[in-house]
A and B are shown apart, each in its own frame.
Chain A
Amino acid sequence: MTKSFLATNRSVLVFLLVLSLFTLAVTVMAEATGYGLISTSFVKTLGKTLCLCLIAIAMDVVWGYCGILSLGHFAFFGIGGYAIGMWLMYARTEEIVAGSLANQPLPATAQELSDAIGTQIFGVVGSSDFPLIWSFAHSLPLQLLAILIVPGLLALVFGWLAFRSRVTGVYLSILTQAMTLALSLYLFQNDSGLRGNNGLSGLQNIPGVSASQDDVSIWFFWASAVALGLGYVLFAFVTSGKMGSVIRAIRDDEARVRFLGYHVESYKLFVFTITAMVAGIAGALYYPQAGIINPAEIAPIASIYLAVWVAIGGRGRLYGAVIGATLVSLLSSWFTGGSAPAINLGFYKIVWTDWWLVLLGLSFVAVTLFFPQGIGGLFDFVAVKRNSDYGPSEGAWRAEEGKPE
């Protein structure tokens, strides 16, 4: 009766296989490890795309499976980025400052060193003192822990308050959006302690590593691929079996699930929190590849994009979210990067940097109206129909009678 989890979820194996082949192909083509067919900046783009896929599957679990349309998951992504960014920036600045102070006739005291680092980091916002929030920035293990704990804790408290009051549907979406907007506005302030609108920069430089960006980019690419693979297995595990059954039931009729004796709020909280933590991990891998993080990254629009990716890719199936995130984010950087050829209509010239959002918006509307299954739904046509019985939903026809018409 009890088959192993992977044996019953073949799509997970297929996904892992495709992901490994893709990783291998990129490795072979990269500057550092292969023939240099693709540029380092493109390796970074691909690595970042994998991180976006990771947050997209998290979004799919919370929205597509559990029915909570969270418009705030990019806040957790951003928090993960800030958490790792603080250590990267601190340790890197410390390295540089210590190097320059070493030439002094007298060795620098700890206080002098700290002041010098503070001036370097916070000079742009007119300060040189370390805010309280940077207390652990010197410690990599603690900041790594923060990547999980801070988004997890925020999601736990926020979710507990929201779910306990039985806020659902569009009201919950608005609440989550308010949360991410509030966080973003807070971070924009200079005295928030995270350098205001400057954000954290230079994150691509890994302290204590002298390897070139060619090497670093492929390391992060690998790390992102591993994280995506593990995240996929984790979420496939959560959404399969009885847990998946209960989560989907909550999406479809939460009151009925309550009368079955399940404490719906605990389940929502579990899903909300675990996806927030994974979003934090995705962000922590994304921003060292992007090199910079600022509060604009966690503006509500980012989380709305996330919902668009998942909707276009196909809700309620993890690979759909991956397809949506990959396709839309890569297309988006192609169109907005200016590489897409402009279309000259004679009387008007369509410049894609301006029109891409319109195109994206139209595709979103089209998918929602005409193809709610998303791109992932195409796989249903490929899959062999298991049942020969057509069932009453297509008329009371049996297999022997043939399909209607």
Chain B
Amino acid sequence: MNKRLLEVSGVSVTFDGFRAINNLSIAIAEPELRAVIGPNGAGKTTFMDIITGKTKPDEGKVIWGEKSISLLGMSESQIARAGIGRKFQKPTVFEAQTVRENLAMALKNKRGPFDVLFYRKTADGAARIEALAAEIGLSDQLTRVAGELSHGQKQWLEIGMLLAQDPRLLLVDEPAAGMTPAEREQTTDLLVRAAKTRAVVVVEHDMEFVRRLNCKVTVLHEGSVLAEGSLDHVTQNPDVIEVYLGR
């Protein structure tokens, strides 16, 4: 059994009377690859918002790491510094800046304004950027402006920026959206490799993509866990079939 990294327990969020998350409990170990699936409005993105500090839950606990720190009192940037990286559904890279600048910004270093102001480039940092670029297949594109990249390349760049942060937990929201089949395959490989040393949580719609990840799956429905287990296990669950195919 791997050690527990993140524990979300009994969390609920209400937006204007609508219960987006309802008594949700999930635990993530390190290392682990986990897919979170569910129909639209199941609360997948809100779940990520809560972990990363964007949304504050009405009740419940979010506990992080060996020291069991609560993430609820922390700001987004503190949570990111604690070791949680997030990739958004829509690729959000800094389009006006080069691939290298994007990666350099994400690279794990001190984040204070004066640390950054007097930051000097190092050979070690350059090597890390080169290695990351190779990992995400953008070695030839380092000097290009990120806005010029194709959709798939932007998605990879964002995953690269996540890896550059060297987080212990990666939250990845629909990484394969808008990708060609070949690009999807590379993305799966990238995520599976990343999950060897850290915890990776992938939110996805696409069952085929989830199947290729070959990992434990959590099915969300109306803001709480409906089923958990291997993909085959959950797809045979009558509740899951009802939610996905019924009505």
Contact = CB atoms under 8 A, between A and B. Distances in A.
A258 B76 contact: yes
A255 B52 CA distance: 11
Given A2-B120, A242-B119, A263 B77 contact: yes
A403 B193 CA distance: 40
B94 interface: yes
B97 A261 contact: no
B94 A252 contact: yes
A245 B97 contact: yes
B81 A261 contact: yes
A35 interface: no
A119 to B, nearest CB: 48
Given A245-B101, A259-B52, 15 more contacts: A1-B122, A242-B105, A245-B105, A248-B97, A249-B105, A252-B94, A255-B54, A256-B88, A260-B80, A260-B106, A260-B161, A262-B111, A266-B112, A267-B116, A392-B148
Interface size class of A (residues with CB under 8 A): 20 to 34
Contacts of A178: none
Interface of A: 1-2, 238, 241-243, 245-246, 248-249, 252-253, 255-256, 258-264, 266-267, 270, 387, 391-393
B45 to A, nearest CB: 14
B76 A259 contact: yes
Contacts of B96: 248, 252
A243 B116 contact: yes
Nearest to A386: B143
Given A245-B101, A258-B77, A259-B86, A2 B111 contact: no
A1 B105 contact: no
A238 B111 contact: no
Contacts of A238: 117
A249 B95 CA distance: 9
Contacts of B92: 253, 256
Contact of B80 (A241, A245, A252, A258): A258
Contacts of A259: 52, 76-77, 80, 85-86
Nearest to A389: B144
B22 interface: no
